[in-house]
């Protein structure tokens, strides 16, 4: 399974931060239910001022909660995740990037070191 990284900006709600927690749990549940593995979850900041005013789902957003999730999943799961993020009113922006699918592409120097030690 390839390794993916999701960067997401969720709409900021100072009264109820539970909405972002539910969004992250939904993403993790989608990945886990299909046999994927969540490798890392990192909160990058809550209520950060966005560089420009963003419009999503007929609302303007000036602040956002930023986080990244690194996970292993099949491409079909990534398509399903993209569709659900597109429809979710909490999501302002997101970007999914494929980090790689082989260890040699993820860690090129470590693999060459291990292979040279085995000879």
CATH of the domain at 21: 3.30.70.60
Q: Report DSSP state, residue 35.
A: T
Q: What residue numbers bound the domain in which 26 lies?
A: 3-118
Closest to 93 in 3D by CA, of 66, 58, 73, 69:
66
Indicate if the pLDDT at residue 79 is higher than 70. yes
Residue 27: is it exposed, middle or buried by C-beta count within 10 angstroms (0-12/13-18/19+)?
Answer: buried
What is the tally of structural domains in the chain?
A: 1
- Can you tell me the mean pLDDT for 31-38? 93
- Can you tell me the mean pLDDT for 84-102? 92
* Alpha carbons 19 and 13: distance in angstroms, whole number: 8
* pLDDT at 101 (0 to 100): 80
Indicate if the pLDDT at residue 107 is higher than 70. no
* pLDDT at 29 (0 to 100): 95
Task: Return the half-sphere exposure (C-beta side, CA atoms, 13 A cut-off) of residue 101.
Answer: 5
Beta-strand ranges (E) seen in 1-119 are 3-11, 37-56, 59-72, 91-100
- Can you tell me the mean pLDDT for 51-60? 91
- Can you tell me the mean pLDDT for 31-56? 92
């Amino acid at each position: 399974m390839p390794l993916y990284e999701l960067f997401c900006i969720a709409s900021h709600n100072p009264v109820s931060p539970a909405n972002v927690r539910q969004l992250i749990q939904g993403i993790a549940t989608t990945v886990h239910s299909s046999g994927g593995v969540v490798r890392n979850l990192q909160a990058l900041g809550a209520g950060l001022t966005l560089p420009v005013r963003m419009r999503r789902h007929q609302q303007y957003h000036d602040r956002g909660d930023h986080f990244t999730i690194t996970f292993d999943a099949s491409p079909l799961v990534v398509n399903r995740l993209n569709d659900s993020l597109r429809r979710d009113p909490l999501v302002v922006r997101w970007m999914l990037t494929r980090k790689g699918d082989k260890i040699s592409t993820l860690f090129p120097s470590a693999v060459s070191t291990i292979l040279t030690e085995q000879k």
